[in-house]
Amino acid sequence: MTNFSKLISTIPAIAQKYRIHLILIASLFLGGAGISIFFFLTLPNLDALTKDINEDLTIIYSSDGVELGRIKSQEYQDLALASEIPDWVYKALVVVEDPYFYAHSGWNLSHNLKNLLFSYDIKSTLSQKLARALYQNQHIPINSFIGNLKVLFTALFLEWKFSKKEILHHYLNQASFGGAVQGIKAAALQFFNKKTQELTPAEAALLIGMLRAPTRYHPIKAPERALARRNEVLQQMVLAHILEPTIAASLIKTPIRVQNSIIHFEKPPWKAPYFLEYVKKWLFRFAKVHGFSPYGLRVHTTLNYRLQIHAEKAVAQHLSAYQQLLNHYLKTKGVPWEKDPNMLWRFIRRTDRYKKLKLLGYSENQIIKEFEKVQPMRVFQWQKPGYLDTLLSPLDSIKYYIPFLEAGLISINQNNGNVVAWVGGIDYTFFKYDHVGQGKRQVGSTFKPFVYAAAFEAGYVPCDTLLNQPLTIIAPDGQKWRPQNADFDYGGAVSLRYGLVNSINVVAARLIQKVGTEKVVALCRRLGIEANFSPLPSIALGTVDLSVAELTYAYLPFTNGGLKYPFNVVSKIENIDGEIVYEQDSTAQRVLEPKIAHTMLELLRKVTLIGTAGNARSIANLPYELDIGGKTGTTQNNSDAWFVGFTPEAVTGVWVGCAERGINFGRTELGRGSFMALPIWSIYMHKAYNDSKLGWQVNKKIPGPDDFDVQIDCYNDPIKKVIPDSSASEFDYSALIADTLQKQ
C-alpha cells in the first residue's frame, strides 16, 4: 500500500477524533461568512462615493475658452470635486482628526473595542467617521451594538475600496457642519460665502475644528469656543509643518468673520449667470428631445467673455450714476406706493416668501405681519462692496428695491446669429429675473423700423412724403385712437426718411394705415418675432410687449443684407469621450430683399447721425469713422427706455426701466431712450473697440448690394439740430447730475 493510500485511510479516524474541533471551525467560518454577508447587505448606499462626479459634471465654456460654469445633477451639485479642495486642507484634517490615518486600515483595535463595548461610539478614525456620516445622511439608525459593528465593517470596506485620498475627499463632502449644512462646499458658502477653493487657512481651520462638535464650536452660536477651537487647529497645523509659524501667529490674532446664516445669500457660481441659466434650460430641453443625459458634457457656447465683461461694466457704469437722478426725481414727486397702494401688494405677491406662507395657510393679515418683522438682511447697493448688511423687514426691503433701475442687454453677431454677450440684470445675486430672455416690455419706437420695412416692401421709398399732422384712427372694434408726437411738434408733409430718423409718431401711424397692419405683422413673423400681439394700428408706436432678445434678433436682417440665422447660444457639445453630439446650425434664410435691408440700414445710420440717437457718438467719444446705426425707443410715462444699435461686429439691444412700470421719470427728458438706454450701448462699444484683444476694426464697414440705387437723402426735409460731439473719452455724468438736481 502506498503512502498516499495510507493517508487516505486515516482520514475517517482523524475526523472522528477531531470532529468537535472541525464542527467548531466550520461553524465559525460559516458564521463569519454569514455575518459578513449580513453586514455587506446592510452597507449604506455608496452611489455618492462610487460614481465619478466628473461623469455627472457638465462644464460650460465661452467661445474664447473661459469656463463659465458647471452643472451637476441635484444629487451631486453640493459635492466638491477633489481638485476644488486645497491639498493643505486634507493635511490639516488628518492632523486634527486622525493623526494615524495613513498607518491604520480603518480602525484602531484597542480604541474601538473599548468604544464598542462601553460607549457605542465609534468615531476614532476618519474611515469610521465617513461610515457613520453615510448612515446618518441616509437616516439609518446605528446607535446600538449592532450599529457600531456595521460602522466598523463599513470602515473596513471603505478602506478596501478607496484610496486614502479618496476617503478624505468623501468625508469632507459627507460631514455635517451643523444643522442642514452638509459638506465642506456648503459650509464654505454658508459661513464665508466662498467657493471651497477660495478658503483661507483661518477659515478652513474653523471648519475643520467644527467637525468634532458642530454645535459646540458653531461660530455664530458659540463664537468664543469657535475662536479658541480655530486657533487650536492653527497651532496643530504649525506643528505639522502645514503652516508657517509667523503666518499662524498673525491669523490667530484675527477675529472670526462669518456670514450669518439668517442673512446668507449665495454668490452666483457662474460667470455670465443670466446667460448660463438660459443655456441650462436650452440644454435640458435639447437633451430631453434627443434622449440623452444633460450631464457629463462639455458645452461650448457662443458667448465671448471679454465682451461680456465690457457689457456688464457698461451697465454698471451708467446705471450707478443714473440711479441718483431717479432717486432725486422720486424724492421730489413723493413716495410712489402712496399714490398706488396696490403697488406694494403686487411686489409682495411675486416673492417666494409670500408663496411659501400661502402654502402654509397664512391669511393675508398674517402674511403682512410676517413681512413687517425686522431681521438681519443683506441688500444690494451700487457703492462698494456692492451690498449693505442692515436690519430691515421684508416689507421695507421691497420699498428699498422698488425704485432701482434695472437693465437688459444682448449682443448678437449678425453674420451667424451667435449671442456674444448677455446681461440680464444689474446683479444676479439680488435680481435673478432675466430682463433679456424672460422679461417682456413695451418696445416703443424701436418697433417703427418694422413698419417702414413693410412699407418699402409695398413699394414706398424713403423720400415719399406723409403729413406730419394729428389724425384720428378708428380701430376695427370701433375705438378711436389719436396718436400724438412726443414733442407735440407738428408741421407739413415730411419724408418717410425724416419720419423714421426723428421718430415722428403721426407719420408712423399714417404709414401703417396705408401699408396695413397685417403686412407689418407678417414681416415681424418672418424676422423672427414670435410673440402674440393684436394687429391694431397702435402697434406702429410700439405697444407690443417683446423681450430684449426677441426684439434685437429681429433687427439682424437689417444689418446683414436681409438674412435670418438661427438664434444660437451653443456652438458645440461634446460628451465625456470627446465625441461631438451637437453642432450649431448657421444656415441662413432670406427674409428681406437686399435693397430693402440696406435701405433700412442706411436710415438707421441716419438715426445715430442726425436723429433721435444723434448723441450715440458723443456720449463715449466713439470715432466718427465707426459704422454705427440704431433706433431709440421710449414708452408712455418713460416707463421703458430702449436702444437697438449695430456696428459691423454685432447688433446690441438695451432696455432700461424699473421692475414696476409705475416707477419712472414721468414725462421728463431724462426718461427717454437716448438718455436712459443709449449711453449703455455707447459706453459698451467704447470699451469693446478699445480692447485690442477683441480685434474689432474701427474702419470696417457693412457692405451694401452693388446695384443699390435707393435715394436716402431727401433735401426738402426740415433740419433738426444735432447734439454736438464731446471731447470726453467716457461719458461724464457729473455735470448732467448737477444740472438736473439744480433744476429740480
Interstrand relation of 58-61 and 545-546 (parallel, antiparallel or unpaired): unpaired
pLDDT single digits (tens) 406-458? 999 999 999 999 999 999 999 998 998 999 999 899 999 999 999 999 999 99
The pLDDT confidence band at residue 28, using thresholds 50, 70 and 90, is low
Least confident of 101-115, 429-443, 508-522, 720-734: 720-734
Same domain, 132 and 74: yes
Number of domains in the chain: 3
Euclidean distance between CA atoms 657 and 409, whole angstroms: 12
Given a cut of 60, whether residue 225 has pLDDT beyond it is yes
Same domain, 558 and 656: yes
The pLDDT confidence band at residue 268, using thresholds 50, 70 and 90, is low
Tell which of 219, 247, 263 closes a domain.
Answer: 263
- 200 domain-assigned: yes
Same domain, 659 and 634: yes
The number of C-alpha atoms within 13 Å of 169 and in the hemisphere containing its C-beta is: 19
- Here the CATH number for the domain that contains residue 179 is 1.10.3810.10
Given a cut of 80, whether residue 91 has pLDDT beyond it is yes
Question: CA nearest 644: which of 620, 669, 612, 670?
Answer: 612
CA 418 to chain centre: 19
Q: What is the mean pLDDT of residues 6-29?
A: 54
Contact criterion met (CB below 8 Å) for 373 and 393: yes
Mean pLDDT score of the chain, rounded to an integer? 83
pLDDT single digits (tens) 136-150? 666 666 555 555 666
Euclidean distance between CA atoms 503 and 671, whole angstroms: 16
Q: What is the mean pLDDT of residues 28-40?
A: 48
pLDDT single digits (tens) 58-89? 999 999 999 999 887 766 667 788 888 888 88
Amino acid at 188: A
- 369 domain-assigned: no
Same domain, 28 and 57: no
Tell which of 263, 296, 317 closes a domain.
Answer: 263
Same domain, 477 and 432: yes
The pLDDT confidence band at residue 48, using thresholds 50, 70 and 90, is low
Look at residue 25 in the predicted model and tell me its pLDDT.
Answer: 58
Least confident of 15-24, 158-167, 473-482: 15-24
- Three-state DSSP class for 260? coil
Q: What is the mean pLDDT of residues 237-254?
A: 87
Look at residue 375 in the predicted model and tell me its pLDDT.
Answer: 87
- Three-state DSSP class for 368? helix
Q: What is the mean pLDDT of residues 368-395?
A: 90
Given a cut of 60, whether residue 738 has pLDDT beyond it is no
Look at residue 75 in the predicted model and tell me its pLDDT.
Answer: 60
Least confident of 60-64, 113-117, 509-513, 738-742: 738-742
Least confident of 83-92, 100-109, 464-473, 599-608: 100-109
Least confident of 405-409, 540-544, 647-651: 540-544
Same domain, 577 and 641: yes
Euclidean distance between CA atoms 141 and 21, whole angstroms: 37
Same domain, 567 and 637: yes
Tell which of 215, 238, 263 closes a domain.
Answer: 263
Look at residue 319 in the predicted model and tell me its pLDDT.
Answer: 95
Q: What is the mean pLDDT of residues 471-488?
A: 82
- The secondary structure of residue 568, as a DSSP letter, is B
pLDDT single digits (tens) 672-688? 999 999 999 999 999 99
pLDDT single digits (tens) 150-201? 677 666 776 777 788 888 888 888 888 887 788 888 888 888 878 888 888 8
Same domain, 506 and 582: yes
Q: What is the DSSP string of 19-51?
A: HHHHHHHHHHHHHHHHHHHHHHHTPPP-HHHHS
Look at residue 726 in the predicted model and tell me its pLDDT.
Answer: 36
Given a cut of 70, whether residue 54 has pLDDT beyond it is no
Residues in the chain: 744
- 524 domain-assigned: yes
The pLDDT confidence band at residue 362, using thresholds 50, 70 and 90, is confident
| Residues of the chain above pLDDT 90, percent | 42
139-143 long-range CB contacts below 8 Å, 24 or more apart?
140/44
Contact criterion met (CB below 8 Å) for 169 and 49: no
Same domain, 222 and 240: yes
Residue with cell 438682511: 377
Q: What is the mean pLDDT of residues 631-642?
A: 92
- 313 domain-assigned: no
Look at residue 211 in the predicted model and tell me its pLDDT.
Answer: 85
Look at residue 569 in the predicted model and tell me its pLDDT.
Answer: 97
- 177 domain-assigned: yes
- 591 domain-assigned: yes
Who wins on pLDDT, 132 or 741? 132
| The dihedral formed by the CA atoms of 503, 508, 511 and 517, expressed in degrees to the nearest 10 | 130
All three cell numbers of 447: 418697433
- Here the CATH number for the domain that contains residue 564 is 3.40.710.10
All three cell numbers of 653: 439691444
Same domain, 29 and 100: no
Look at residue 113 in the predicted model and tell me its pLDDT.
Answer: 52
Given a cut of 70, whether residue 315 has pLDDT beyond it is yes
Look at residue 19 in the predicted model and tell me its pLDDT.
Answer: 54
Look at residue 120 in the predicted model and tell me its pLDDT.
Answer: 44
Whether this model's pTM surpasses 0.85: no
Contact criterion met (CB below 8 Å) for 645 and 558: no
Look at residue 181 in the predicted model and tell me its pLDDT.
Answer: 80
- 693 domain-assigned: yes
Euclidean distance between CA atoms 529 and 521, whole angstroms: 9
The pLDDT confidence band at residue 626, using thresholds 50, 70 and 90, is very high
- 111 domain-assigned: yes
Same domain, 682 and 725: yes
Is the bond preceding residue 385 a cis peptide, omega within 30 degrees?
A: yes
Given a cut of 50, whether residue 32 has pLDDT beyond it is no
Same domain, 60 and 30: no
Domain residues for 548? 412-743
Q: What is the mean pLDDT of residues 691-714?
A: 93
All three cell numbers of 395: 416689507
Look at residue 604 in the predicted model and tell me its pLDDT.
Answer: 97
Contact criterion met (CB below 8 Å) for 337 and 346: no
The number of C-alpha atoms within 13 Å of 253 and in the hemisphere containing its C-beta is: 5
